[in-house]
Amino acid sequence: MSTPVTVTVTGAAGQIGYALLFRIASGQLLGSDVPVRLRLLEITPALQAAEGTAMELNDGAFPLLASIDITDDLKTAFDGANVALLVGARPRTAGMERGDLLAANGGIFGPQGKAINEHAASDIKVLVVGNPANTNALIAQHSAPDVPANRFTAMTRLDHNRAISQLAAKLSVPVTAIEHLTIWGNHSATQYPDLYNTVVNGRSAAEQVDEEWLTGTFIPEVAQRGAAIIKARGASSAASAASAAIDHVYDWVNGTDWTSAAVVSDGSYGVPAGLISSFPVRSADGEWEIIQGVPVNDFSRGKIDASVAELAAERDAVRELGLI
């Protein structure tokens, strides 16, 4: 068995944390032969709840779980961290303007990025789940100037998985029949799930569905799926979000030919360099790479541009607030 990998999870006492931690402890994040040391970061009032989750983790007697530390201290949380899952965030509350939301999250992701810069292991990989995920990741990345920018990513894998599931149901095929699906842009209502490059049983997905379904049903339903879950469940997506976080990091570490992830743009596909935007990506040797040469038709161009404009506006707002 290899040496334990240190995995830091913020917002560990929350509902995504509750679903995520057990899957990490069971070996699904990194591999079934990789022991993990868990570091749980919470705000002080939630430390007791995190202790309760840790008690249950211990009760799982997971062979791969080497240790659990619970803390409200950033240095302790990120000291030697190899993987950081930044889940805890400030939710938007009634009457909160976008600027207030971004400022509140800047107060979380700025200091966390700084602590990662100062204390994390040199191979640190960061996944931001807490919303607004792309811009929170941008803030953390700018606060960690000594860490390669491409180690900061944000999660659009839940959107990717939702799109695969909905397309599979529509075409009555197993999810494994769907290849090369891409979520472009922001993890928000403007995200663009691209079926023009998606392949199902060797044929373009867009050719197998009618245009009205693609534009009038599929795209809005993927984007609004979170709201539909809240309506049905009375609580926001948790286990599916945790599952997507597991998928994202597992693929990052172990490699994949094609998925969607929000990574720092290098200017590909007209997305301004530096923005953290979702792209078609592959991973090899622990590094994401934006897949090049994916055709972008006029319809896709308009959708991608709209989502990227939203990301640029968020970046400008956090810049004005002095957060980046």
Q: Which residues are catalytic?
A: 187
- Is 13 a residue that touches ligand NAX (CB under 6 A)? yes
Helix (H) or strand (E) holding 133: helix 133-142
Both tokens assigned to 206: 């867009």
- Is 35 a residue that touches ligand NAX (CB under 6 A)? no
d(CA 255, CA 26): 20
Confirm or deny that 281 is annotated as ligand binding: no
- Is 251 a residue that touches ligand NAX (CB under 6 A)? no
Q: What angle do CA 222, 227, 233 make, to 5 degrees?
A: 115
Angle in degrees, 0-180, between the axes of helices 98-119 and 298-320, rounded to the nearest 10: 80
Q: Which of 5, 9, 16, 205 binds ligand NAX (CB under 6 A)?
A: 16
CA atoms within 13 A on the CB side of 272: 13
- Is 190 a residue that touches ligand NAX (CB under 6 A)? no
- Is 108 a residue that touches ligand NAX (CB under 6 A)? yes
Q: Which amino acid belongs to residue 308?
A: V
d(CA 233, CA 291): 36
Q: Which amino acid belongs to residue 135?
A: T
Q: How far is CA 177 from the centre of its chain?
A: 24
Span of 27-35, 41-49, 96-104, 165-173 interacting with ligand NAX by CB under 6 A: 41-49
Q: Which residue is nearest to ligand NAX (CB)?
A: 14
Q: Which of 42, 247, 251, 314 binds ligand NAX (CB under 6 A)?
A: 42
Span of 94-102, 117-125, 230-238, 316-324 interacting with ligand NAX by CB under 6 A: 230-238
Span of 10-18, 196-204, 213-221, 276-284 interacting with ligand NAX by CB under 6 A: 10-18
Instruction: Give the list of residues 6+ apart from residue 217 with CB closer than 8 angstroms, or none.
Output: none
d(CA 124, CA 33): 20
Q: Known binding site for substrate: residues?
A: 92, 98, 131, 162
The binding site for ligand NAX (CB under 6 A) comprises 10-11, 13-17, 41-43, 46, 87-89, 91, 108, 129-131, 133, 155, 158, 187, 226, 236-238, 241
Q: Known binding site for NAD(+): residues?
A: 11-17, 105, 112, 129-131
